[in-house]
Amino acid sequence: MKHSLKWLCGAGALLLPLSVMAAPAVEDLTAQSNSLYQQANTHMSGGGTLTLLNQLDEQVQEIARLRGRVDELEYQFKRMTEMSQQRYLDLEQRVSGGDSAGENGQVVDAQAASAVSGSASTGSSVASNGDAQKDYENAFAKVQSRDFDGAIVAFEAFVVDHGDSNLAANAHYWLGELYSAKNQLDSSAQAFDTVISEYSQSSKVPDAMYKLGLVKARQGKAQESRTLLQTLVKQYPDSKAGTMAKDFLASGG
């Protein structure tokens, strides 16, 4: 009996290592799982980056297209403004008649020159001293000889030296004409506006309103131009400037 137990124990001892050796191995899948997650994450990250790059490229192309469109619209606007200015100049010349050509193809109103010259001669004995009259005539002579730069210098000096003269309004008016002829529209508008606002009793106010209306049109301020010219027609319906303004508006100005 003892021998049988010994034999069984020996057999059991022999079988135990064999059973352990034959048991299936349990692998550690944690590391493998983490590796797969990292690979998937890397794959997704790469795909997302590619998508973002494609979207960015599309946006860059769209911005370039829009920028080109803006440049095109700016060019078209500039051309329309130039054509509009030329249209107003053509209308002004047809309405006003005989003008003297100045720089940049602009004009100085010959009829206005005659009117201002006449007012300088007849009004000098009223409130203008000899120096003011002489300085005014010297400045106006430069207009007649088409020395516009010299005339501007002379009239600018006149309004400083003789600001209280009855010829000051006329001098500001001529500065408006001269700056307009040189296509310096801001300075022209300021000079005409000075006549209107600071010399409201001057006979040159209707003419200044008419010219300021034309300058505003050339500046691209069509609505301001029409409003001013309509006001001129209403306030001075019988004046020559009012008549010209009415004709100008009727002609499409």
> Domain residue spans in the chain?
102-250
Contact indicator for 159, 191 with CB cutoff of 8 Å: no
Contact indicator for 172, 199 with CB cutoff of 8 Å: yes
Q: Which of 204, 17, 188 is nearest to 107 (CA)?
A: 188
Amino acid at 91: L
Q: Which of 181, 249, 179 is nearest to 217 (CA)?
A: 249
Rounded Cα distance, 120 and 132, in Å: 10
| Amino acid 232: pLDDT | 97
| Amino acid 63: pLDDT | 82
- Domain 102-250, what fold? 1.25.40
CB-neighbour burial class of residue 104 (10 A; exposed 0-12, middle 13-18, buried 19+): exposed
| Amino acid 77: pLDDT | 61
Q: Which residue is it, tokens 């306030």?
A: 235
pLDDT per residue, tens digit, the chain (253 aa), is 545 544 444 544 444 444 444 444 445 544 554 554 455 455 445 556 777 777 777 777 778 778 777 766 766 665 555 555 555 455 445 544 444 444 444 455 544 444 444 444 334 333 446 789 999 999 999 999 989 999 999 999 999 999 999 999 999 999 999 999 999 999 999 999 999 999 999 999 999 999 999 999 999 999 999 999 999 999 999 999 999 999 989 887 6
Rounded Cα distance, 152 and 166, in Å: 19
Q: How many CB atoms lie within 10 A of CB 36?
A: 11
| Amino acid 76: pLDDT | 63
| Amino acid 34: pLDDT | 52
> Under DSSP, is residue 108 helix (H, G, I), strand (E, B) or coil?
strand
**Global model pTM greater than 0.85:** no
Instruction: Provide φ and ψ at 81, rounded to 5°.
Output: -65, -45
User: Greatest CA separation found in the chain?
Assistant: 165
CB-neighbour burial class of residue 85 (10 A; exposed 0-12, middle 13-18, buried 19+): middle
